[in-house]
């Protein structure tokens, strides 16, 4: 493998979309949304990509069957984003270097943002870099917690956040660059001791930092990347924005 590996989390159903389709196959401007994510990774020179599938895995594999340099990894139980990454352990064990982890339901992911994160990752020799942005309405998203010096201190999921943490506006958009060795070590330490009883990938940056590695949260994502799709209303908004951007 080259020194850049991509992981696209694509196992979810998307229960609020009122359809039996896997969420990542919902059409955005007439095209299943996961294709935009894969295109952005390819434009960022990430040739080898693992796609984590789960709900109706057969449909996702069929849709993506003509694309090159993809490997499908099945998450048989939906136990969180950390667990979705854990199922890639076998492939990660063969890799050295940068691992870019994104979600398959973020069709406005920009290749330029991924390249900026990768460039900083290599310059800083970091254990983890995550892309963030400030959002006027951060509802439903994990908040970035910083210490008194402004350095990254962790990510707290909204369901686990205190009232003060919910007031934070810098959010995690699930766009990560990990050092592969550090990611594997952090995955080994993940716990499901939280309100959702899930394994959170968002715990990995904190674990990597606690191991003495540098972790940076960079508010470099573009405003359009703040748009995620969880409902049909979200879908309509993203389609409108994509048309504005000339997709």
Residues noted as catalytic: 16
| Euclidean distance between CA atoms 58 and 69, whole angstroms | 18
Contact 113, 131 (CB under 8 A): yes
| Euclidean distance between CA atoms 112 and 129, whole angstroms | 15
Helix (H, G, I), strand (E, B) or coil at 97: coil
Per DSSP, the residues of 24-64 read: GGSEETTEETHHHHHHHHHHTT--EEEEEE-TTHHHHHHHT
60: Cβ contacts below 8 Å, ≥ 6 apart: 10, 22, 24, 25, 34, 51, 53, 72
CA angle 77, 80, 86 (to 5 degrees): 75
CA angle 170, 174, 176 (to 5 degrees): 105
Which residue, among 205, 155, 142, 154, has the nearest Cα to 179 in the 3D structure?
205
């Amino acid at each position: 493998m080259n020194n850049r590996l991509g992981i696209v989390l694509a196992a979810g159903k998307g229960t609020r979309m009122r359809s039996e389709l896997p969420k990542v196959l919902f059409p955005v401007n007439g095209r299943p949304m996961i294709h935009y994510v894969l295109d952005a990774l390819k434009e960022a020179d990430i040739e080898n990509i693992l796609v984590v599938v789960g709900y109706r895995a057969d449909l996702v594999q069929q849709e993506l069957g003509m694309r090159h340099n993809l490997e499908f990894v099945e998450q048989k139980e939906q136990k969180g984003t950390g667990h979705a990454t854990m199922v890639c352990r076998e492939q990660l064990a063969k890799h050295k270097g940068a691992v870019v982890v994104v979600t398959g339901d973020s069709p406005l992911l920009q290749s330029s943002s991924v390249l900026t994160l990768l460039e900083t990752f290599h310059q800083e020799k970091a254990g983890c870099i995550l892309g963030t942005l400030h959002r006027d309405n951060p509802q439903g998203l994990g908040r970035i917690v910083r210490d008194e010096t402004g350095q990254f201190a962790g990510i707290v999921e909204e369901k686990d956040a205190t009232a003060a943490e919910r007031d934070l506006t810098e959010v995690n958009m699930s766009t990560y660059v990990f050092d592969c060795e550090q990611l594997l070590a952090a995955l080994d330490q993940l716990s499901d001791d939280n309100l959702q009883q899930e394994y959170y990938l968002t715990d990995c940056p904190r674990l990597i930092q606690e191991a003495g590695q540098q972790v940076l949260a960079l508010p470099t994502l573009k405003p359009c990347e703040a748009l995620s799709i969880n409902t049909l209303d979200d879908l309509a908004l993203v389609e409108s924005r994509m048309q504005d951007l000339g997709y």
